[in-house]
Amino acid sequence: MTLRCSILFLSFELALIATCMTIKRETSTIVARSSWNSLGCYTDNVSGRALPNSEAVPGGSAAMTNEACQSTCLAAGFSIAGTEYGRECWCGNALVNGGAPVSDGCNMACNGNSAETCGGSNRLNVYQDTSPSTPTSTGKRGLVYNNNNPAANAEYADLFKGYSKISWGYDWGFPSFGLDASFEFVPMLWGLPSGSDPAWTAAVQTPGTKSILGYNEPDLTYSGSSNILPAAAAAGYETYMEPFSSSVKISTPNVLWNNVGSSSGGAYDSKTWMQYFMGNCTCHFDFAAIHYYQDCFPADGQSGAAWFQGNVTDAYQRLGLPVWITEFQCYGTDAQQVAFLQSVLPWLDAQSYVARYAYFGVFPDYLVNTAGTGLSDIGIAFATT
Ligand SMILES: *[C@@H]1O[C@H](CO)[C@@H](O)[C@H](O)[C@H]1NC(C)=O
Ligand SMILES: *[C@@H]1O[C@H](CO)[C@@H](O)[C@H](O)[C@H]1NC(C)=O
Ligand SMILES: *[C@@H]1O[C@H](CO)[C@@H](O)[C@H](O)[C@H]1NC(C)=O
């Protein structure tokens, strides 16, 4: 068991299946934009790029055109795109690090279309998106991360900085391990033992805390699940969560909504666990928190996306609360997970009762690439769809 595998015990045993997926590059169609205005040719400071984020253009450097770069940057939530050296694409929201106009212009043909110019040597051909519909955050999409990296901080989550659709994060606990201030951090009371920790009160009362999450999978007995019986869980909630109800929004415990027929957390399934918990708790809840894990494309031809949507809707109908899906993942290849996300993310954004969601999870070989240096294909799909 590697360190990378062991972090998965924080969640749900079946997630281990996904650690051995094959990597397959996903390509998508380029949509030309008419609303990109040329800003001209700018110097690029190679030790601190004039535009900071280089994004993966479908087809790679051989297919580089200004349009390909622009649509990739737009999808990633940026409003400025620059091509360089005939084959590179940089995105940003402002020119930084000394980017200055070059009077004699850009001069290298684009690899993907020799009739147009894609910058030059340390020169960027810069365009700005002027459309009013540049995608912005719905406030729903967030990161589930931890500090399992060499620096023991939030550096993997911070790789999502600048992606305007991602607005918040949580790490199954508190503190945030230095999560970038551009994200809203949501503290979680993982289980009962941590409730009496004075740091919990401090985390809840940290300025900027708007919502708090209750127990992680108290309905389950997996390692990493908090495994608490409903009556004890309710008593703990009344002591450690409810006192904050006038200052922050409070979740229900985070249960695995599609878990059936399990004896975890008592001899009943997760929906029944939640029903007993509600029955025992003299509590006010602002939103429900659920998990969901299942196949992307079930072998019998049923739709994994439809199952997921059905479970989210079911949680809303049974609990009558806005729903946060604090962990979800479909099991499948990278390409299958990308297709699943492309199907369900627009749906999640369109449902008024879905308040927030986080795809599992911000780790190498999941939303982050194997080296831990950038987003994986799944991460790009989650950040940009
Ligand atoms: C180039 O970038 C580096 C690193 O960000 C910065 O220290 C330097 O001042 C920049 N150079 C110019 C000319 O702006
Ligand atoms: C309280 O929880 C226990 C299990 O812990 C359950 O047996 C009981 O029915 C619950 N009470 C209510 C009112 O739901
Ligand atoms: C919830 O997901 C399960 C698969 O885990 C599926 O069998 C079930 O039909 C889904 N429920 C709804 C209401 O769609």
* Ligand 3 center from residue 314 Cα (angstroms): 9
Rounded to whole angstroms, the Cα distance separating 209 from 126 reads 38
Q: Give the domain-ending residue among 129, 158, 192.
A: 129
Does 65 fall in a domain? yes
* Ligand 3 center from residue 378 Cα (angstroms): 23
* Ligand 3 center from residue 385 Cα (angstroms): 24
Q: How much is the pLDDT for 25?
A: 29
Residue nearest to atom 4 of ligand 1 (CA): 48
Cβ of 97 less than 6 Å from ligand 1: yes
What is the C-alpha end-to-end distance of the chain, expressed in Å?
A: 33
Rounded to whole angstroms, the Cα distance separating 341 from 329 reads 9
Does 7 fall in a domain? no
Q: How much is the pLDDT for 325?
A: 98
Looking from the CA of residue 229, the nearest atom of ligand 2 is 5
Same domain membership, residue 148 and residue 123: no
Does 280 fall in a domain? yes
How many domains does the chain contain in total?
A: 2
Cβ of 311 less than 6 Å from ligand 3: yes
Ligand nearest to the CA of 276: 2
Tokens of 53: 């984020």
The range of the structural domain enclosing residue 56 comes to 36-129
Q: How much is the pLDDT for 150?
A: 94
Q: Give the domain-ending residue among 104, 129, 154.
A: 129
Environment class of 21 (CB within 10 Å of its CB; exposed 0-12, middle 13-18, buried 19+): middle
* Ligand 1 center from residue 21 Cα (angstroms): 40
Does 6 fall in a domain? no
Other CB atoms within 10 A of residue 350 CB: 9
Does 10 fall in a domain? no
Looking from the CA of residue 232, the nearest atom of ligand 2 is 5
Q: What is the 3-state secondary structure (H, E, C) of 168-179?
A: EEECCCCCCCCC
Cβ of 310 less than 6 Å from ligand 3: yes
Same domain membership, residue 158 and residue 92: no
Looking from the CA of residue 275, the nearest atom of ligand 2 is 14
* Ligand 1 center from residue 359 Cα (angstroms): 36
Q: Give the domain-ending residue among 129, 164, 194.
A: 129
Cβ of 298 less than 6 Å from ligand 3: no
Same domain membership, residue 183 and residue 60: no
pLDDT in tens, the chain (385 residues): 222 222 333 333 333 332 322 222 233 333 344 578 888 999 998 888 888 877 778 888 999 999 999 988 887 777 899 999 999 999 988 788 888 889 888 999 999 999 999 999 999 999 988 776 545 678 999 999 999 999 999 999 999 998 889 999 999 999 999 999 999 999 999 998 666 778 899 999 999 999 999 999 999 888 888 999 999 999 999 999 999 999 999 999 999 999 987 666 667 889 999 999 999 999 999 999 999 999 999 999 899 999 999 999 999 999 999 999 999 999 999 999 999 999 999 999 999 999 999 999 999 999 999 999 889 999 999 998 8
Rounded to whole angstroms, the Cα distance separating 370 from 364 reads 5
Listed in sequence order, the residues at least 6 apart from 302 whose beta carbon sits closer than 8 Å to its beta carbon are none
Same domain membership, residue 333 and residue 196: yes
Listed in sequence order, the residues at least 6 apart from 110 whose beta carbon sits closer than 8 Å to its beta carbon are 64, 65, 66, 83, 86, 87, 116, 117, 118
Among the listed residues 341, 372, 369, 373, the one whose alpha carbon sits nearest the alpha carbon of residue 357: 341
CATH of the domain at 299: 3.20.20.80
Residue nearest to atom 2 of ligand 2 (CA): 231
Same domain membership, residue 246 and residue 104: no
Q: How much is the pLDDT for 31?
A: 38
Mutation choice for ligand 3 from 311, 331, 347, CB with most ligand atoms inside 8 A: 311
Same domain membership, residue 208 and residue 82: no
Tokens of 214: 């209750």
Same domain membership, residue 82 and residue 56: yes
Q: How much is the pLDDT for 71?
A: 87
Q: How much is the pLDDT for 93?
A: 80
Does 215 fall in a domain? yes
Same domain membership, residue 352 and residue 283: yes
Same domain membership, residue 102 and residue 203: no
Among the listed residues 341, 336, 278, 289, the one whose alpha carbon sits nearest the alpha carbon of residue 312: 289
Listed in sequence order, the residues at least 6 apart from 220 whose beta carbon sits closer than 8 Å to its beta carbon are 12, 227, 255, 256, 259, 262, 264, 265, 270
Does 1 fall in a domain? no
Other CB atoms within 10 A of residue 56 CB: 15
Ligand nearest to the CA of 265: 2
Does 145 fall in a domain? yes
* Ligand 2 center from residue 252 Cα (angstroms): 16
Other CB atoms within 10 A of residue 24 CB: 11
Helix, strand or coil for residue 114? strand
* Ligand 2 center from residue 289 Cα (angstroms): 20
Same domain membership, residue 379 and residue 293: yes
Mutation choice for ligand 3 from 14, 297, 307, 325, CB with most ligand atoms inside 8 A: 307
Nearest 5°: the CA angle 149, 357, 151 is 10
**Cis omega before residue 175 (within 30°)?**
yes
Same domain membership, residue 88 and residue 53: yes
Same domain membership, residue 156 and residue 124: no
| Concatenated DSSP letters of 153-213 | SSHHHHTTTT-TTEEEEE-SSS--SS--TTSEE--B--SSGGGG-HHHHHHHHSTT--EEB
* Ligand 1 center from residue 78 Cα (angstroms): 21
Cβ of 376 less than 6 Å from ligand 3: no
